[in-house]
Amino acid sequence: MPELATPPRAVPALAIERLSYAYSSATRPASDPHLGLDAGRVLHDVSLTLAPGEFAVLAGRSASGKTTLLRAACGLVPHFHGGEIEGSVEVAGIDAIAAGPGELASVVGYVAQDPETQIVSTTVAAEIALPLEMRGDAPASRARAVEEVALALAIPQLLDRTVDTLSGGELQRVALAAALVTRPKLVLLDEPTSQLDPVAGDELIWLLRRLNEEWGVSILLAEHRLERCLAAADRVIAMSSGAIGFDGAPSDFLAWAQSNDTALETPAARLFSLSGLEPLPTGVRQARQTLSAATPPLGRVAGGWGGLQRSGVNFSPENHPRTAATSPGEKSSKPETPPTARQDPPAATVRALWVELGEADVLRGIDLTIRRGERVALMGRNGAGKSTLLRTLAGLVDPVRGRAEAAAGIALLTQSPGDYLVRERVADELPGDAGRAALRSVGLEHAVEADPRDLSGGERQRLALAIALAGRTEGAELPGLVALDEPTRGMDRARRCGLEQLIEGLAGRGAGVVVATHDVEFAAAFAARVVLLGDGVVIADGGAAEVLSGGWYFATEVARILDLPGVVTPEQGVAALIDAEAGR
Amino acid sequence: MRSPFAYTPRRGPLQAASPGAAVAYLGAFVAVAFLYSSPLVLAAAGLGAALAGRFAGAGGAVRVALRMGLTLALLIVAVNALVVDRGETVLLRLGELPLLGEVNVTAEALAAGATIGLRAAVAMVAFAVYSACVDPDRVLRALRPVARRSALTAALISRLVPVAAADASRLREASRLRGPAAAPLGRAALARRLLTGSLDRAVDVAATLELRGYSLQPPNPPRSIAAFSTQGWGKGSKRRSRYDRRFYLTGAVVLLAAIAGKLLGADGFHAYPTIELDPTPATLAVSALAILAGLAPMRRPAGRRNA
């Protein structure tokens, strides 16, 4: 009987063996307390293999080495960035260290953190077609590929636009289209949802999953907002100080994060871990399934913990910090607007505001008042008019009708933090005691001697915030309104917590704080009020818990799981679960 | 806000021309400016470049470049008047100044400074028209055969100016938003940041080009295309534009006339020791030609195109 032929072993999409890397002194990022590496090593003895068709999420705090690992996988490290490298990197069987990014272009697509840095053409169609042109595809083949990828990413209407007319989210999609158009075997993405609204972010993740399933593309996705992508992933690789801290299934990762780094926990996992429920859910669907397995389901009837336990769900209420939790009806742990501040003139007054950019009405008859001491999240889809509203308040844009005033002054951090960084040393940007105080307020006092350009994305953002606030973090100079436009891009949860504290501090001292953000979890954590813009008009304006639990996309993960009015944070969720148990 | 120097796609002859033709045409104005000292010819070259921009639909870029160029020219005039101690017609005696010593402002130094300033202004206007009218994508593609191994070079050549122009307005905005305790920013600091930032961005663009396969061997163009084009593989450059001949020809005529005029003594201007301006018929002819060359980007009326 003839022996059956052994099927050839598939070549891994990515095979990294004992990779260590240090940037050259000129390009090395500033030291970070989280890095803690010897001799400036950004990657330390990293080994991993990504099988064809695998979807892996690369988790980790800011400056843990995620971006560098992605750069090594596409050949930019060391070919473009220099530095010292040890070990081996193979992409679809090609030696990436020997070949470099050009040779890898046909097998790997890379989408960087900031899409503005990776757009090289004038029009969208030319940008997407460029990789095909470089490899010499015929015009007809290029046209078809461009059309198909544009359809897949829902951007066919953008093809004739010039790239300088696109929003951040649109640029992100165009960059992704350019990375996908050659149908690479491996796609590397560095925080691709950081500039996308919740709708577009969710769509992008599921689009990646679809491409992964239907085209067999392997995906390595670095992301801070893990709640968005864990449910779609086959595997999670967690970086910690330049090394791999965890490599395994998403559900195992959540257990690892619970005991090793709670900053990497998702809100759903935190809800479950605070409640002692198991298994920790990787997404809304799994969480709801677990909860609905309780008979009767939670929140609809008083089945409570007993019901959960009877259904086999492991629950141990004695382990739960009820005292730390708040229920929807209780006073929130977030400080309320200072009562005295309410009597002050408003921090911002917007009346019948119309703003036109180009030939489009971006804001259409907005009315809004922001009080001193108030913490407001300004939300909405990409292009809804959030940034324009903030820029108009800061006097950078003139309204065509109506008015927008910040009578007691405004400090605005725009979306491009790099624009605030002018000098070559952090201390030169922020001299003196006031400068040091501003650095301390954003947790960057350790980077005084660093070159701002060498800081990580999240660090640059914090430095820009410090520059916008310099001299205003204390005392009478505090502006009536502090406005931050997408300040959490590139920030891990730990850093976001620091920003929340900063916002609380500013609001506590009497500044109205308005933050344009796509990050619903961040909004739920810091805001007392959420204003939702849609196509230039206010479509919702109310308490954060009310607005963020009343929808689907603009709702937190906990709100989507529990679907209870006013329950948006894990702590509130725990309280709701305990109330359900008490009512049983 | 969009920079006036940013490339805007338009249906005009200069925009349709290949990058090489546009560079040859606009470069002729710059060449004239650097060949001649006669204010008459320099002004004519500047006017020609401005007309070219106007007829190519880049009036905004020309206006801003003129404003910047003339400001720079005034600065050069002032500096030249203070530091150059030549010329016989003393207009102002400033006496002993620190570092500069005894300063006498002469009409000749002012005239010489104006010549240098005009030259810079002409170059700036021509470059503004180039930036606003020549598609950087086509420049990038045209450079690939010669700069394949250096995406950075290609990125610098094709993207530095558009990127710098876009960055400038954002940097100005951000400088208005700095907190009171942040280090104050002067124009010099902003200019330095603009340059370094643009270089950094060009490096990012170069990295992206590498990732897109720019350094790969360009494919061989089809034989029929290769016969008359060295860049037939790229979009929009499969064949020469029908306007290429016009711009190559105009540029060549202006350049040759300028060289011939120079040899024939058309550049009849000397600033020192006393100002001598001797406009000959050749000077007038070169000037007229430079102005007329500015009409090249005009479109023919529809009736004549159909005829």
- The neighbouring-strand residues paired with A236 are A57, A248
Q: What is the pLDDT of residue A370?
A: 96
Residues of B in Cβ contact (< 8 Å) with A100: 210, 215
Q: At what angle do helices B151-176 and B107-133 cross, to 10 degrees?
A: 110
Strand order in the sheet with A410-413: A410-413, A481-485, A512-516, A375-380, A529-534, A537-543
Please count the residue pairs, one from chain A and one from chain B, whose beta carbons lie less than 8 angstroms apart.
Answer: 159
CB contact (8 A) between residue A120 and residue B208: yes
Task: Please report which helix (H) or strand (E) contains residue A264, including its range.
Answer: none
Nearest Cα of chain B lies from the Cα of A374 at a distance, in angstroms, of 21
Sequence-distant (≥ 6) Cβ neighbours of residue A463 within 8 angstroms: A417, A420, A421, A426, A429, A439, A442, A444, A447, A452, A455
Instruction: Using a CB–CB cutoff of 8 Å, tell me whether A129 touches chain B.
Output: yes
Contact yes or no for B29/B52 (Cβ under 8 A): yes
CA distance B212 to A120: 10
Encoding tokens for residue A166? 């696109």
Mutation target vs A (from B11, B176, B177; most A CBs, 10 A cutoff): B177
The token duo for A277 is 């429920």
φ, ψ at A531 (rounded to 5°): -110, 120
The CA–CA distances, whole Å, from B163 to A121, A124, A472, B110 equal 11, 17, 32, 35
**Of A482, A544, A538, A470, which Cα lies nearest the Cα of A507?**
A482
Q: Where do we find the tokens 């489009």? A: A360
Would you call B141 and A133 a contact, using CB atoms and an 8 Å cutoff? yes
Confidence at residue A368, expressed as pLDDT on a 0 to 100 scale: 96
Region of residue A125 (phi > 0: left; psi between -120 and 50: alpha; otherwise: beta): alpha
Q: Are the CB atoms for A135 and A122 separated by under 8 Å?
A: no
Q: Which amino acid does the sequence have at A393?
A: L
ipTM: 0.76
3-state secondary structure of B105: strand
Mean pLDDT of chain B: 84
Check residue B304 and give its pLDDT: 52
- Which residues in chain A are contacts of B8 at CB distance < 8 A? 162
Alpha-helix runs per DSSP H in A153-283? 168-180, 198-215, 226-229, 250-260, 267-275
Q: Which two tokens stand for residue A429?
A: 């940007």
CA distance B189 to chain A (A): 7
The residue of chain A nearest to residue B6, with distances taken between CA atoms, is A164
Nearest CA-CA distance, residue A130 and chain B, Å: 7
Quote the CA–CA distance of A437 and B252 in Å, as a whole number.
63
Question: Is the omega angle on the peptide bond into residue A115 within 30 degrees of 0, that is, cis?
Answer: no
Q: How far is CA A77 from the centre of its chain?
A: 24
A383: helix, coil or strand?
A: coil
Other beta carbons within 10 angstroms of residue A22's beta carbon come to 23
Q: Compare CB distances from A432 to B140, B181, B190 and report the shortest one's residue.
A: B181
Question: A118: closest CA among B202, B199, B168?
Answer: B202
C-alpha count within 13 angstroms, C-beta hemisphere, residue A298: 32
d(CA B56, CA A69): 47
For the packed helices B59-83 and B39-55, what is the interaxial angle rounded to 10 degrees? Answer: 160
Q: Which of B167, B209, B233 sits opposite A136 (nearest CB)?
A: B233
Tell me, what's the pLDDT at B236? Answer: 44
Put simply, whether A24 touches B (Cβ < 8 Å) is no
Closest CA relative to residue B49, chosen from B70, B25, B71: B25
Residue B294 and residue B28: Cα distance in Å, rounded? 11
3-state secondary structure of B33: helix
> Per the structure block, which two tokens stand in for A405?
């005033």
CA atoms within 13 A on the CB side of A387: 17
Within B84-222, where are the H helices? 107-133, 136-147, 151-176, 187-211
Alpha helix ranges (H) inside A187-337: 198-215, 226-229, 250-260, 267-275, 284-292, 304-310
The pLDDT-based confidence of B220 (bands split at 50, 70, 90) is low
Of A100, A136, A467, the CB nearest to B182: A467
What count of other Cβ atoms lies within 10 Å of the Cβ of residue A501?
13
CB atoms within 10 A of CB B296: 25
Element containing residue B74 per DSSP (H, E): helix B59-83
C-alpha span between A168 and A193 (Å, rounded): 10
DSSP A301: B
Residue A297 region by backbone torsions, left for phi larger than 0, else alpha for psi between -120 and 50, else beta = beta
Q: What share of chain B is helix, strand, coil (3-state, %, to 5)?
A: 65, 5, 30
pLDDT at A340: 44
Nearest 5°: phi and psi at A57?
A: -100, 135
DSSP element (H, E) containing A429: helix A426-429
Nearest-Cα residue of chain A relative to residue B216: A102
Six token digits for residue A275: 């409640």
Instruction: Give me the residue from A75, A412, A430 closest to B182, CB to CB.
Output: A430
From chain A, the residues in CB contact with B159 under 8 A are 120
Cβ atoms B286, B42 nearer than 8 A: no
Would the CB atoms of A472 and B181 count as touching at under 8 Å? yes
What pLDDT is attached to residue A233?
95
The H or E element containing residue A296 is none
Task: Pick B177's closest partner by Cβ from A129, A394, A477.
Answer: A394
* pLDDT per residue rounded down to tens, chain A (584 residues): 445 555 556 799 999 999 999 987 655 544 343 343 444 788 999 999 999 999 999 999 887 899 999 999 999 989 888 889 999 999 999 999 999 888 898 899 999 877 777 888 888 999 999 999 888 889 999 999 999 999 988 889 999 888 877 877 788 889 989 998 998 999 999 988 887 888 888 888 988 998 899 889 999 999 998 998 999 999 999 999 999 999 999 999 999 999 999 889 999 999 998 888 888 999 999 999 888 876 545 544 334 444 444 444 444 444 443 333 344 334 344 545 544 445 578 999 999 999 998 778 999 999 999 999 999 999 998 889 999 999 999 999 999 999 999 988 888 988 888 889 888 899 999 998 888 888 887 778 888 999 887 786 667 877 888 898 888 776 667 788 999 998 887 778 877 887 888 888 889 888 899 999 999 999 999 999 999 999 899 999 999 999 999 788 899 999 999 988 999 999 899 888 887 766 65
Cα–Cα distance measured from residue A348 to residue A368, given in angstroms and rounded to the nearest whole number: 8
**Residue at token pair 């023919």:** B300
CA distance A557 to B119: 64
Pairing of the two strands A235-240 and A243-248: antiparallel
Q: For residue A5, what pLDDT is reported? A: 54
A202 burial type by CB count under 10 A (0-12 exposed, 13-18 middle, 19+ buried): middle
